[in-house]
Chains A and B, each alone.
Chain A
Amino acid sequence: MSSQQSNRVATIVINIMVAFVVLILIFLLGDILITGLPHVTLHLLTSPSQSFAAGGGIRDQLFNSFYLLVLTLLISFPLSLGAAIYLAEYAANNWLTSLIRTSIEVLSSLPSVVVGLFGYLLFVIQFKFGFSILSGAIALTFFNLPLLIRSIEGSLHAVPRSQHEAGISLGLSNWKTIKGIILPAALPGILTGIILSAGRVFGEAAALIYTAGESAPIVSYTNWNPLDSNSFLNPMRPAETLAVHIWKLNTEGVTPDAVSISAGASAVLVIVLLIFNLSARAIGNHLYQKGSGHK
């Protein structure tokens, strides 16, 4: 075979593979949206769910998903930022650093069910947090940490070493240089990483079944005191999320309209994930252009 021929064959094979991947994606997205979108109504989005009767909604589950996401990021972002700064800027190239890196790799490959069961034993039972948003947020933090640390560390590494030298050469301390020069330069990448990890957290179910629980108690959206048991902000209440609700409807759902609610809820979930991903790109591009002055 001549080199032109082999080049042509390789190109065709690669194109077929890409087409295959794209087709799977279009089929999945299309199926979910086409089956689900007709069921996405204002009623679905604004009504509480029903256990037995038809006509339930996903209001509380949708809110719970967002609330859990916010709490998870509140816990995991500062931890990841600190760890990533350490790994990218301070860590020496020795056995301790490689042990930390390996631990992070292992953490990222843990099955989410294992994370969930671990959270159940430690936080729900041992620490007596019960099935609660807090237990769920901590379990999701375990899940989210490796992803966030790696994406933040990558963004920090992408800032050229010469920026660091410039700061140091002006008599600034290492920390001032990192805080004032490296972190702002890495911000677009960091934000993109946060939003993408948010998508993963938002869609997670298995780790939450045993930690945040499968029930969505009626809460008051006008009670802003997070210490009140019926407040929507109370972190100690159980909170079924959208992804867990979809799972429950399809395994043990007894409402007559379980299939249509599940389809609608799935469409909502996918749309939220798409919004996360697209906004991650948009915000990243916008900040990059703002920083580099190419408008």
Chain B
Amino acid sequence: MENNNIFAKTHLVTPQEPPAITTDNLQVYYGDNHAMHDASLSFPEHQITALIGASGSGKSTYLRSLNRMNDDLATVKGKIMYHGIDINASDVNVYEIRRHIGMVFQLPNPFAKSIRENLTFALKAYGIKKKSELDERVETSLKEAALWDEVKDNLNRSALSLSGGQAQRLCIARSLAIKPDVLLLDEPASALDPISTAKIEATLLKLVKKYTIIIVTHNMQQASRISKYTAFFHLGHVLEFDTTSHIFQEPQVPVTRDYVLGNFG
């Protein structure tokens, strides 16, 4: 019974800013395993929101549901509202959704192609053929991801020759090249060294002027450095959602307090 009680106390605020995405009673099942219970959150536009919690808390599962990356792996119930449309509905074009809601993964996963082709592959698939437009998108997105100066001399180099940090910024640029509106990042810096991590964080702080960013992170310092809002996940439940300063300085839920103090996780 003790175990059930810890989920009873939650503290979830609704941000003042207009939302980019909201979820309403989102539930995720892997077969019979109920991995995410009743997540109702609202992500404000042009802000960074961090999702924190221990391993297995459901934060990545939740994030991946937002652009339907869990379609083949899990059953996702509930509503995901984006510009007034429920994008979790079965008749929605998932390919279209993913063009608006991009994703960057934990391990850098550049394609085994040149740097340029990594950025233009999807654009060409969408039917953009003009070289001038492709070149413009390549340059803009590489600049946005703070990678342009390091690679501009040889864009035909294989992307697999980049360092881990560069490869991850290329993956960010690849997502930006298709001009999304929301960027989902699943622990994008957890495999990187501190200097590369700092570069990614600086990049995200610049990007937030144009994009809405939702980032899963294990690193609480990272969450407090870059995010305006933070959601705390615990064993498949969202227990607390508030401004980052509130979460770290005066958490309302005891489990959140224990986590941010480093007592578990």
B112 at the interface (CB under 8 A from A): yes
Which of B67, B111, B157, B158 has the most A CB atoms < 10 Å from its CB? B111
B121 at the interface (CB under 8 A from A): yes
> In the bound complex, what is the Cα–Cα distance between A167 and B98 (angstroms)?
10
Say yes or no: A170-B171 contact (C-beta < 8 A), given A181-B111, A184-B112, A293-B160: no
Chain B residues lying within 8 Å of A165, measured Cβ to Cβ, are: 69, 105, 109
Residue of A whose beta carbon sits closest to that of B122: A170
Closest-CB distance, A109 to chain B (whole angstroms): 33
Instruction: Write the A264-295 contact mask toward B (1 if CB under 8 angstroms, else 0).
Output: 00000000000000000000000000111110
Say yes or no: A170-B109 contact (C-beta < 8 A), given A180-B125, A291-B158, A293-B160: no
Number of interface residues of A (CB under 8 A): 22
Residue of B whose beta carbon sits closest to that of A161: B109
Closest-CB distance, B110 to chain A (whole angstroms): 8
- In the complex, the answer to whether A292 meets B122 with C-beta atoms within 8 Å is no
Closest-CB distance, B80 to chain A (whole angstroms): 16
- In the complex, the answer to whether B112 meets A185 with C-beta atoms within 8 Å is yes
A43 at the interface (CB under 8 A from B): no
Say yes or no: A294-B112 contact (C-beta < 8 A), given A162-B105, A165-B69: no
Main secondary structure of the interface of A (DSSP, over half): helix
- In the complex, the answer to whether A166 meets B111 with C-beta atoms within 8 Å is yes
- In the complex, the answer to whether B69 meets A181 with C-beta atoms within 8 Å is no
Chain B residues lying within 8 Å of A290, measured Cβ to Cβ, are: 158
- In the complex, the answer to whether B95 meets A173 with C-beta atoms within 8 Å is yes
Residue of A whose beta carbon sits closest to that of B104: A169
B107 at the interface (CB under 8 A from A): yes
Which A150-204 residues sit within 8 Å CB-CB of chain B?
160, 162-163, 165-173, 176, 180-181, 184-185
B152 at the interface (CB under 8 A from A): no
> In the bound complex, what is the Cα–Cα distance between A18 and B67 (angstroms)?
53
Which of A163, A172, A185, A291 touches B125 (beta carbons < 8 Å)?
A: A172
Say yes or no: A172-B122 contact (C-beta < 8 A), given A166-B171, A293-B160, A294-B161: yes
B103 at the interface (CB under 8 A from A): yes
Residue of B whose beta carbon sits closest to that of A292: B160
- In the complex, the answer to whether A185 meets B98 with C-beta atoms within 8 Å is no
Chain B residues lying within 8 Å of A292, measured Cβ to Cβ, are: 112, 158, 160-161
Q: Chain A residues in contact with chain B, CB under 8 A?
A: 160, 162-163, 165-173, 176, 180-181, 184-185, 290-294
Given A169-B103, A171-B97, A291-B158, output 6 extra A-B contacts at Cβ < 8 Å: A162-B107, A170-B121, A170-B174, A176-B125, A184-B112, A293-B158
